[in-house]
Amino acid sequence: MHFLRRFDPWKGKHCTCKPKYSLAPYTGCDHRCLYCYITTYIPNAFFCRAKSGFLKNLPNDLKNADSTIPISISNSSDPYPTIERSEELTRGTLKILNEYGFKTLLVTKSDILLRDLDILTQGNIAVTMTINTMDDTLASRMEPGAPPPTKRLSALEVLVSSAVPVMVRVDPIIPGLNEDVEPLLKEISDIGVKCITTSTYKARRDSLKRLTDEFPEIGEQLEKQYLSSGEFVNRSYYLAANERERIMKHVYDCSKKYGLGFNMCREGLAIQRTSSSCDGVHLLSRL
């Protein structure tokens, strides 16, 4: 297949995802999130470009795929980068997936997806919106190319009112930076979101340098927590298990307080999961 791949996050021992495909209309991502891991394996990762022949060849991939397995768009680049406004590769992709009857997990940080509300309300599609702070100023430093959280929250409100299944990724949580998630969880609960998934920041050396350069006030502490006291798991530096548990337990408690289903991504912790999946696959209507 040209573009469709089985999802396999580096054979991660903490991954709890059920079988799914990964599909990305674009290479690279112009959201330029400081914490992003794609810079370790995608050249010019923060320069977003359309994949040549994508829509033309996608149907051939789908003919050879198992239509009972969901397709996740996208895992290494946002499906709604700035150039999607003109390229419309993601819009075209969703149309084709609907025609072929595939179940689709749409993962994004962008309110551009509201342009495609007509498709989202017709297909077997669930949206996962990543928001890890309500502070637009903080977000503009962590995610300089992404739409601000206020726009993402407004988009969520429209999706919920349009009966599009949604989940929020409160991800990543970076110690000393955006740990205070309670105001965010209250807000998304008030909007009508029913579940979240969350994870702590998994450091790679280049992303850690970007964070410590931008936030020098916590740089020394982050380096100690990850490089000295943390664990090296599947190409990434994790916080020590007790630190991850502290942070995840706080998110769990807040989730419970506001009636939100809770799950975690690649944490390997025994904290109770009250949502059926970590990626939103349980939101899809026909499994």
Confidence (pLDDT) at 234: 86
Ranges of the chain with pLDDT below 50: 286-287
Confidence (pLDDT) at 11: 65
Confidence (pLDDT) at 286: 47
Domains identified in the chain and CATH numbers: 5-283 (3.20.20.70)
**Cα 100 to Cα 94: distance, rounded to the nearest angstrom:** 10
- Single-letter residue type at 81: P
Helix (H) or strand (E) holding 185: helix 182-191
Confidence (pLDDT) at 17: 85
Residue 41, SS3? coil
**Cα 119 to Cα 112: distance, rounded to the nearest angstrom:** 13
Using alpha carbons, select from 27, 59, 61, 71 the residue that is nearest to residue 45.
27
pLDDT in tens, 136-178: 999 999 999 999 999 999 999 999 999 999 999 999 999 999 9
